[in-house]
Amino acid sequence: MTTVRAGVVPTQRAVVYGVLGIMMTVTICGAFVAAFGINRVFTGLLAGAVAGVAVLSALFTRDAVVLTDHSIYRCTPWTVSSIDWNRVVAGRFALDERSRWSLALDLSGGDEPYGELVLLSIAPVVRPVAGAYDLRKRDQVTEIRAILRRKRIPVTVLPQIAGALQEHWQIASPTH
């Protein structure tokens, strides 16, 4: 079974996660100061920062879209919902409102409030793979396109995006 992780954390939820991480840091720092005195404020900050980063990491890791051969799962730290592949009308790789490249699925009907499910949002590709981030994003694009091809989901790609993907990341346009 093929499993592909994708997804973009909405800004509102990212802010909530950030606030939770800061609250964890402040709470642990406060507990250290209360238990051991003001001389342990830096120890409390260090312990709080470690816990805050752990909370942020757990929240952002859990927030994802998981594409499998059977369904699409929208996961948040508190819920998991599934979307049947038969609800996917098409995919598109286009510019979003922030001039980033967005790979999204258009969905029909259903109970969820999704009309669109954003799988990726990346900065425009202007050079070959230059590091781990670029490599991971190239692999995600390739994996998502492969599963969409197997599911026979039509994908529209803007010509400038298709050209840049082919030139810099050696990803052939969908018509090849």
Q: Tell me whether residue 61 is in a domain.
A: no
**DSSP letter string, 56-75:** HHHHHHH-EEEEESSEEEEE
Q: Give mean pLDDT in consecutive 10-residue pieces for the chain, a chain of 176 residues.
A: 85 95 96 93 95 96 93 93 92 87 87 76 90 91 92 92 90 66
Note the pLDDT of residue 43: 94
Q: Tell me whether residue 159 is in a domain.
A: yes
Tokens of 40: 């342990």
Note the pLDDT of residue 171: 87
Q: Tell me whether residue 70 is in a domain.
A: no
Question: Is the CB of residue 72 less than 8 Å from the CB of residue 82?
Answer: yes
Note the pLDDT of residue 97: 81
DSSP code for 128: S
What is the total count of domains within the chain?
1
Q: Tell me whether residue 49 is in a domain.
A: no
The boundaries of the domain holding residue 101 are 86-169
Q: Tell me whether residue 112 is in a domain.
A: yes
Question: Is the CB of residue 63 less than 8 Å from the CB of residue 10?
Answer: no
pTM of full prediction above 0.85: no
Q: Tell me whether residue 1 is in a domain.
A: no
